[in-house]
Structure formats: structure tokens, C-alpha cells
Amino acid sequence: MPNKLEAYLEEISHFLSGRAEREEILSEIRSHILEKAAAEHGGTGDAAIDKAIVAYGAPRRVAERYAEDRPIIAPAYKRYLFRYTTFLFAIHAALTVLAVFLKKELVFFPLLYIPRVGVFDALMYLPAAFLADLGLVTLVLYFITQSGKDVRLPWPRFGVDIDEVKPPAKSFWASRVATAVGAVIMLAVTDFALYLFARHHTIFFVNLDWSDPRPLFTPGAGRRLSIIVIAMFAVSTMALLIKLFTRSRWADVASNAVSLGLLGFLMSTPFDGLFAVRIAEDVLPKIKYAAKFTLLFMALMTAIELVKSLVLIGRRRLAKT
Amino acid sequence: MTGREPDIGSLETEMNRGFLHILVLALLEKDMYGYSMVKHIEGLGYRVEENTLYPLLRRLEKNGWIASKWDLTEDRPRKFYAVTPEGRSLRASLLGIWKNQNRILDEIRKENANAQ
């Protein structure tokens, strides 16, 4: 038996793996190719077999022709994929925030386990949680699709329905002008912050007297926090400038992901010995709590924006298939 | 009019799907093997891709509309297919649908011709 034919059949077999009638399919193809090579190309030598194989088609394409037309997730359930994932992730994110504040693990056996996490750990944990939620919903919809039954799933509605979010009704130029104005303002803010940092090694002050500025934070902490905040300004500026040329949501994804990381660095800054000015002992814990809450809220909003952008990108890709 | 030829590739594939069912069920009134079917169809001025025909035969067989058996008496083993009574009944139904569709199109064509 010509080796080329066996190699070709082996490759088709690889793509057919799992099918009970695989051997029978391969026998049919083998029989056809030998028949064709002998009848049309003068024998069953390598050259003749080669020609017959080329005419039969690439192994993956051949194997795909045998696939039943049953998708992994039925088209009718595609829209549930992101709806349910968003819903599940919202609960997951809220419980994660709760676990951070309560400083304890949350167990809802056997559905959910959220370990005891700090703020920074929580930010690292949330993307993995999103993927786990997406995987779980995919699995459920996969089993429903494969069952072939018409299962009527509930359709939860939110205040803002991502499905019904329409693109802004502004004209092309109006939206570009708004973005350009935003970019110019952010560029000015970033430049001013850079100027202050170059001159005073910090951008946080307790007074606005530029002849004798008094920094809010100690030199080391002030430098670290200033660099992070300037980086956040720069990221926002870059995102706005990119949006002048493209409407791709990947720009939002990239900007939100970097901002999330920078917020994580902000939150991981030690609070003790932070201030260069004297603050009353009883007020300090309140400031600490408020700062932590504000940063966590900002991180949560950024994470939601990030997930929303990814969901919209995913939905658009699914709509194209 | 743009003057450009319309791309009918995917539409043709869709139309062929139904036609191929009738064609194969009609052809298999006598026993045939895959390669002989491809050549016979080519001789009639139509072309069916080999890698389309075999999966179709498999689906028809799975539904009991055709039956197959291997012939090992020749140099090379050949798998022969033949239509079953259920396949004949399906073929009659499909032909009925096809004839009705043709009649409808003919009538519309006549209506259009009269209106001009």
C-alpha cells in the first residue's frame, strides 16, 4: 500500500478522532483514491496517488464534511453566553469585594469559593474569576445544545442592557471633536503633572503657594504615588489620541487593563508613614478607609469597563460567525 | 448595474444540497460504487465533489434511505450502494416538492412575461 495514501488517511483519521465509524470512512476514501488513481492517472504509484489525493482535498476539509451540523452552542443560545457570564461575574465581583472588606474567605459549597484576599490579590483574582464564569456558562449551554432539547432559559434584565446599548447618535465629526478636546485637556493635565514632578519630585501638595510648596506625602511615597498617577494620566491621554484614529474597542481594553494594574500599585502602597504633614490620630483610620474604598471602587468600575469592552468585542465576533 | 458578475458560489452550494439528495437517490436505482457515481454524474454534465459525495452517502445510509455492501471479489474492494424502499418513497416526495417549485417559478415567469 503506498505510504503517501496511508499518511493522508492517517491525517484525516486524526481530524475524525472520536467517530465510531472512522475505519469505515477511511476504507471508503482509500478505495476511491486507488480507483481514481488507477483509472485516471495510469496506476497506483506515488505520482498517481498524489494527484488523486490533491483532487480529494485537504485532510481537515475532508474530515469536516463528515461533521454533523450541530454547533457547540446553538445560535439561539449565543446571546445567553455573555448575558449569563456578565450576571455571574457581577455576583462574583461583589462577593470578592465583600471578602476583601470582611478579611475572610467566603464559601458557598459547592458553587463558589472565594479565598481570603487582599486588595491587590483581588485584582489578580477577578480576571481568573471571569474566565471561570465564562467557562461554566459555556459548559451549561454546550450541554443544553448537545441535548437537542428546546430549553427556555430565563432572561435577566439589568438597568443598562448591553444588548440595547446603541452607539452614540453623534455625528462622526462631533464625536471626533469631543475626543480631541478630551485628549487636549488630558495632554495639558499630564504635561502640568510632569512639570510639577520634574520640579518638586511630587505632584501632591497641601497648599497652592508655588513659591513655597509643601508636599502632602513623604519624599519616597510622594515620588511613587506621583509616578503612578502620571502614568494613569498618560494612559488616558494615549487612549484618547488612539481613539481619534480608530474606534476599535481594543484601545479601551488595553487602557483599562493598564489602569487596573496601576490602581493595583496604588493600593499596594503602604499607608503607614505616608503623610508628610501632621494628621490627627483619630482621623487617620478614616482617611485610610475612605482612600481604600475609593480606590477599590475605581478598580471595580475599571474592571467592569474592561469586561464590558471584552463582552462587546466577543459579541461582535460571534455576530460575524 | 455595476456590470460585475454576481457571486453565486454559496447560493449554488445551498441549492445543490437538495438537488444532490434527489440525484443520488435517483442514480442508485441500480447498484453503483462511489467512483462510478462521480464519473456517471460528470458524464451527464454535472460535477459533484468527491469529498461531498461520500459524507452524503453516509448520511443517507444512516437514515435508512440507501444500503451498502462491500464487494471484495475484484482487485480492489469496492463499496456498492443501492436505494432502499424508504429511499424510493423519500425520492418521490422530494421530486414532488421539486416539481411544485418548478411549476411555481414557471407561473411567475409567465406572469412577468405577460406584464411586460
pLDDT tens across A153-175, in order?
887 665 445 555 455 555 667 77
Question: Smallest CA–CA separation between B24 and chain A, in Å?
Answer: 17
Read off the pLDDT of residues A71-116 as tens digits, 9 standing for 90 and up: 788 888 888 888 888 888 888 888 888 888 788 888 887 777 888 8
Whether the model clears a pTM of 0.90, i.e. scores above it, the answer is no
Distance between CA atoms of residues B116 and B95, nearest Å: 32
Distance between CA atoms of residues B110 and B116, nearest Å: 10
Identify all chain A residues contacting B50, using CB atoms and an 8 Å cutoff.
Answer: 32, 36, 55-57
Identify all chain A residues contacting B78, using CB atoms and an 8 Å cutoff.
Answer: 31, 35
Helix/strand/coil for B1: coil
A120 close contact with B: CB closer than 8 A: no
Contact present, A205 and A215 (Cβ < 8 Å): yes
Q: Cell triple for residue A272?
A: 503607614
First-to-final CA distance of chain A: 41
Q: How is chain A split among helix, strand and coil, in percent rounded to 5? A: 70, 5, 30
Residue in B42, B54, B56, B62 to test binding to A, most A beta-carbons within 10 Å? B54
Read off the pLDDT of residues A161-219 as tens digits, 9 standing for 90 and up: 555 545 555 566 777 888 888 889 999 999 999 998 998 888 888 877 777 788 888 88
| C-alpha torsion sign, points A92, A98, A100, A104 | negative
At residue A17 the predicted structure's pLDDT band, cuts being 50, 70 and 90, is low
Question: Smallest CA–CA separation between A12 and chain B, in Å?
Answer: 12
Q: Which residue of B has its CA nearest to A35?
A: B35
Identify all chain B residues contacting A31, using CB atoms and an 8 Å cutoff.
Answer: 33-35, 76-79
The pLDDT value recorded for residue A29 is 95
A21 close contact with B: CB closer than 8 A: yes
A204 close contact with B: CB closer than 8 A: no
Find residues 66-95 of chain B whose CB sits inside 8 Å of chain A. Answer: 70, 76-79
**pLDDT greater than 60 at residue B3:** no
At residue B2 the predicted structure's pLDDT band, cuts being 50, 70 and 90, is very low
At residue A308 the predicted structure's pLDDT band, cuts being 50, 70 and 90, is confident
Query: Count of A–B CB contacts within 8 Å?
Result: 46
Find residues 42-81 of chain A whose CB sits inside 8 Å of chain B. Answer: 55-57, 61-62, 65-66
ipTM computed for the complex: 0.86
Contact A36 B49 (CB under 8 A): no
Contact present, A37 and A48 (Cβ < 8 Å): yes
The pLDDT value recorded for residue A171 is 64
Contact A28 B35 (CB under 8 A): no
Q: Which residue of A has its CA nearest to B71?
A: A31
Contact present, A97 and A129 (Cβ < 8 Å): no
Q: Domain locations in chain A? A: 3-65, 75-164, 172-320
Above pLDDT 70, what percent of chain B?
Answer: 94
Identify all chain A residues contacting B76, using CB atoms and an 8 Å cutoff.
Answer: 31, 34-35, 38
Residue in B17, B35, B57, B62 to test binding to A, most A beta-carbons within 10 Å? B35
State chain A's mean pLDDT as an integer: 83
Helix/strand/coil for B106: helix
A15 close contact with B: CB closer than 8 A: no
Contact B35 A55 (CB under 8 A): no
List, as one string, the DSSP characters of B26-73: HHTTS-EEHHHHHHHHHHTT----HHHHHHHHHHHHHTTSEEEEEE-S
The pLDDT value recorded for residue A170 is 58
Higher pLDDT pick, A163 / A13: A13
Q: Which residues contact A299 (CB under 8 A, 6 or more apart)?
A: A119, A123, A260, A263, A264, A267
Identify all chain B residues contacting A21, using CB atoms and an 8 Å cutoff.
Answer: 58
**pLDDT greater than 70 at residue A262:** yes
CB burial of B6-40 (b: ≥16 within 10 Å; e: otherwise) equals eeeeeeeeeebeeebbbbbbebbeeebbbbbbbee
A25 close contact with B: CB closer than 8 A: yes
Contact A28 B76 (CB under 8 A): no
Identify all chain A residues contacting B60, using CB atoms and an 8 Å cutoff.
Answer: none
Read off the pLDDT of residues B18-70 as tens digits, 9 standing for 90 and up: 899 999 999 999 999 999 999 999 999 999 999 999 999 999 999 999 999 99
Identify all chain A residues contacting B39, using CB atoms and an 8 Å cutoff.
Answer: 39
